[in-house]
Amino acid sequence: MTAQGHEPRASQARTDAYPLQILELGRISYANAWQFQKLRHDSVLEGIVPDTLLLLEHDPVITMGRGGLPEHIYVTGEILAKKGIELFWVERGGMATYHGPGQLVAYPILHLRDRDLHAYMERLLDVLEATVEHFGVKAERSVHGPGLWVNGAKVASIGMAVRKWVSYHGIALNVSLDLSPFSLISPCGNPTERMTSLERECGKKIDLSDVQKVFVDNFLRVFGYYQKPDVGEGHPSWLVRHLPSEKEVRPVEHLVSGLGLHTVCQEAHCPNRHECFARGTSTFLVMGDICTRACRYCAVTKGHPKPLDPEEPSRVAEAVARLGLSTAVITSVTRDDVPDGGAGHFAAIVRAIREKSPQTHIELLVPDFQGKQESIERVCAASPDMFNHNIEAVRRIFAQVRPRADYDLSLRVLQKAASLGLRVKSGLMLGLGETWEEIAGTLRDLYDHGCRYLTLGQYLAPSSHHVPMRRYLAPDEFVHWKNVAMDMGFLDVASGPLVRSSYRASAMLERAL
């Protein structure tokens, strides 16, 4: 499947086809797409990921290629800003063009194995021409330069760049685009150029998603690719870990088990547990190892837990002291059977650690307490150094993975802690079938509700009985989302395939203090 969940399609043209990853980015700002293009170009060049086709729509923007001149823009930057149109000078070929909603933009990031730029351009035109003709429109190519024309008006443009024989930038096909902003520029340096759209030439409404499907089929056929499945046999290389020796791991395991404690590292099958144990750290799982909820992504056992152990706070404090932790991360199973959801227990643990190890910083990773304000206030009154509550999934998918929780309630939990002056952190799993637009929307929701610290990691299903993983995200996507979040205003972001909500929490907390 693609990033949007479509089934992969295979090329019918060649039996020696290369794999192609197709990422559908939805509507995205030019800055974010441009940044990610460069990240993905490096990943393709280094062989981390296969050749890639990015499909998207841009927010309104004018871009100027290497041949562009200031006089190709007829209005001032102030007027563009008032119209909500951005301006970028970029490294692609060509001059001025406009991108906006209703225009299919495709950025092929491909190894040009034959090292023939002319042949690459012709294949792009083959794809565009076949796509337009599928909708009953006869096009001409390269009338005034690279592109397609219909009845003397331009319907598609090409502006590419190549570095080390890997392409980037690409094509724009006007489907249902508002063409009026083209009057603000000299399109491709031609002041007499007329622009048109597929919808205008067909005389009827055309869905961009339908055009995109036809475009992809033609691209696979013309270039001789097959669409790489998002989930294959085995994990990709970036998820393979080299485990430390048992000698390094056992001291933490023995100490924790000897004190009758649990760690989320073990109970949730965390892929980083051996690394953390070898470094002498762990995340303590309190209030037992049985959860009252049945979240469909989580490996922790579900059922009817035992009553809370009043001696547990002192045992956690003892473990923290013996390990000499600079930062202690405490989380819990969800205890809906306890009137305050375990808020008092969390507070008691904070007090016990502070009494025995006053130099230790404390992060609490808490459940939603069913939204009970007095429970949230009780935890916050204990003054942990970091208040963490994970959103886990984007709004559309949230109910599928957390059927007994509520997306907006979790946001309110974070907002309450922020309003009480605490540092607030949350985590989001990726790879559940969310779109790029949904990820961006969730980051905005978190930020708007006071969250300033963030973790982003790859979802890995603990078993076949859990919600299946839909897609592996490559490391460059995690770099991209970290950049997006930091630009949004988050103060610190840990983002990577193996990042978990408490992974190296001490480093983030030390930077925050």
Q: Is the pLDDT of residue 428 over 90?
A: yes
Q: What is the DSSP letter of 310?
A: T
Greatest CA separation for the chain: 82
pTM of the model: 0.90
The residues spanned by each domain of the chain are: 18-227, 237-512
pLDDT in tens, 186-242: 999 999 999 999 999 999 999 999 999 999 999 999 999 999 998 877 789 888 766
Q: Are 363 and 325 in contact (CB under 8 A)?
A: no
pLDDT of residue 7: 53
How does the average pLDDT of the chain come out, rounded? 90
pLDDT of residue 5: 46
With left for phi above 0 and alpha for psi between -120 and 50, is residue 164 left, alpha or beta?
A: left
Exposed/middle/buried for residue 434 (C-beta within 10 Å: 0-12, 13-18, 19+):
buried
Q: What is the DSSP letter of 209?
A: H
146 or 419, which is more confident: 419
With left for phi above 0 and alpha for psi between -120 and 50, is residue 5 left, alpha or beta?
A: left
Place of tokens 């001059």: 95
14: tokens are 């060649």
Assign 479 a pLDDT band (cuts: 50, 70, 90).
Answer: very high
For residue 285, the cross-strand partners are 262, 331
Q: Point out the least confidently predicted range of 49-63, 133-147, 340-354.
A: 133-147
CA distances from 503 to 143, 328, 457 (A): 56, 12, 10
Q: What is the Rg, in whole angstroms, of the alpha carbon atoms belonging to the chain?
A: 27
Q: What is the DSSP letter of 440?
A: H
Q: Are 100 and 189 in contact (CB under 8 A)?
A: no
Q: Are 26 and 437 in contact (CB under 8 A)?
A: yes
pLDDT of residue 243: 53
Other CB atoms within a 10 A radius of the CB of residue 401 amount to 19
370 or 273, which is more confident: 370
- Exposed e or buried b per residue across 205-215, where buried means at least 16 C-beta atoms within 10 angstroms of its C-beta: ebebeebbebb
How much of the chain exceeds pLDDT 90, in percent?
Answer: 78
pLDDT of residue 13: 40
Q: What is the DSSP letter of 322?
A: H
User: Span 365-391, mean pLDDT?
Assistant: 97
Nearest to 109 by CA among 45, 36, 41: 41
pLDDT in tens, 240-283: 766 555 555 455 555 666 666 765 544 444 554 555 544 445 68
- Residues 109 and 104: their CA atoms lie apart, in Å, by 16
Nearest to 368 by CA among 335, 329, 346, 401: 335
Q: What is the DSSP letter of 238?
A: G
Q: Which helix (H) or strand (E) holds 505?
A: helix 505-512
- Residues 264 and 285: their CA atoms lie apart, in Å, by 5
Assign 462 a pLDDT band (cuts: 50, 70, 90).
Answer: confident
3.30.930.10, 3.40.718.10, 3.40.50.2000, 3.40.50.1370: CATH of 18-227: 3.30.930.10
Assign 513 a pLDDT band (cuts: 50, 70, 90).
Answer: confident
1.10.3720.10, 3.40.190.10, 3.20.20.70, 2.40.30.20: CATH of 237-512: 3.20.20.70
422: tokens are 């605490």
Q: Are 26 and 441 in contact (CB under 8 A)?
A: no
User: Span 136-157, mean pLDDT?
Assistant: 93
Other CB atoms within a 10 A radius of the CB of residue 247 amount to 8
pLDDT in tens, 388-424: 999 999 999 999 999 999 999 999 999 999 999 999 9
107: tokens are 């950025």
pLDDT of residue 294: 86
Q: Point out the least confidently predicted range of 263-267, 431-435, 476-480.
A: 263-267
294 or 401, which is more confident: 401
